[in-house]
Every structure is written in structure tokens, then in C-alpha cells.
Amino acid sequence: MIHHHQQAYPESIDEQESIVTNILNGKAPNTLILTEHPPTYTLGTSAQESDVLTREVNGESIAVYSTGRGGEVTYHGPGQLICYALVDIQHEKDLHLHVQRLESLIINTLQDFDIQGVRDSRGIGVWVNGLKIAAVGVRCRKWITFHGVSLNISPNLQHFSGIVPCGMRDAPVTSMHQLGIKATRQEVEERIIHHAKILFDESIN
């Protein structure tokens, strides 16, 4: 388990790359990284440049990075908890199942705060009342997964207006705070860690 208060996006990619290599070489266990990024738009492998509508929202500039994860454009920023799951799925070779586990991780965590998160046919991630509260984007190298899921606790939701989130113009976002649940990152992390150990068979470190 690795905690960072906040981490620039390129540094987080470098860290994940190095841990994935170590897992492949048997030098590191499955690892969960909990972090937060400064305001950032990331473009997944199916993203269109045109999905980034602006790089500045209310005078605040937002960094833009291309990334190797699946999916389209997403936003990361303060108030959003990022959970990167670096997990060896060699025994099952099923990335779809891994994505479902990440969604379950968020659904089970939200349940602890009396929020009913669900899956939605519009796309992967977790939704509440038709609004997206968590985005999932993963990548796999030789059956080691990286990237993961981001949960909106209390981000500046206006920052999502600078992009077409996940390529869907009709998918507005929400957060725990917007839903009236004023949980802290520490409170949410405690539940995430609890559920990660159950879902990933205690193999998560």
C-alpha cells in the first residue's frame, strides 16, 4: 500500500511503470497506490484531442497528458481519490473481471456512506442517479494491471466542463460532497483499503 498526499501525473506513471516491472520480476507484491493529482486532463487510447474543449477553467490552467490506459478523456484533481491497482492477474487472464472488481471496490465503499452506486450501460465506472461518481481506466502488461479508478469525493466539478468526459456529452458527473456526504479522504481511504483486501484476496499490499 502506497499513500501520496498529491503526485504530479507523470511521476505517478513512472512509479507505476517501475512497480509493474518489479511485480513481473517477482520483486514486488500486488500494490494499491492511493493518491491525488493536481488539476489534470488525461487522454486514454480512444480519446479524441477534440474532447479537450479548453485547458483553462475559471482562470485555472489544467495540464493535459496522453496516457496508455484504455478509455477516453478524464479529469483528475484535488478532492478526487485515485486508486491505482497494480495486480498480477496471470492466473485468470481476465481484464474485464479486473475492471468489475474496481467498480465493486467503489460500489462497496460508497455503500458504507449510504450512497447507492451502480454500473451503467453507458460505460464502465460507477454511477449514482445517472451521474458518474467514479471513472475506471486500466492498462495491462503481461497480465500485470496498472492505472485504476478515480472517485469524486469533493473535486471542483466545474473542471469537468473543460472536457467531454469519457466521450459522452450527456454524462454529467457528481461527487460524494455534492450528494451531501461530507466524508474526508481519510475516511474514504479506510473503507477502500478494507474492501480492497476482501476483493483482491488479501493479496494487495
pLDDT-derived band of residue 72, with 50, 70 and 90 as boundaries?
A: confident
Q: Among 166, 171, 183, 192, which one carries the catalytic annotation?
A: 166
Query: Could you report the per-residue pLDDT of 174-196, keeping only the tens digit for each?
Result: 999 999 999 999 999 999 999 99
The arrangement of strands across the sheet holding 40-43 comes to: 63-66, 40-43, 73-76
> Which backbone phi and psi does 86 adopt, to 5 degrees?
-105, 100
Instruction: Write down the pTM of the prediction.
Output: 0.94
Contact 159, 62 (CB under 8 A): yes
DSSP state of 165: G
Cβ neighbors of 142 (< 8 A, separation 6 or more) are: 24, 90
Domain 2-199: homologous superfamily in CATH: Bira Bifunctional Protein; Domain 2 (3.30.930.10)
Q: Output the pLDDT for position 154.
A: 98
Instruction: Determine the average pLDDT of the residues in 2-11.
Output: 95
pLDDT-derived band of residue 167, with 50, 70 and 90 as boundaries?
A: low
Q: Output the pLDDT for position 45.
A: 87
Q: Output the pLDDT for position 46.
A: 87
Name the grid cell of 166.
469519457
For strand 31-35 and strand 144-152, is the pairing parallel, antiparallel, or unpaired? unpaired
Query: Could you report the per-residue pLDDT of 74-103, keeping only the tens digit for each?
Result: 999 999 999 999 999 999 999 999 999 999
Per the annotation, the verdict on 166 as an active-site residue is yes
Contact 102, 148 (CB under 8 A): yes
Identity of the amino acid at 143: W
Query: Could you report the per-residue pLDDT of 115-139, keeping only the tens digit for each?
Result: 999 999 988 999 999 999 999 999 9
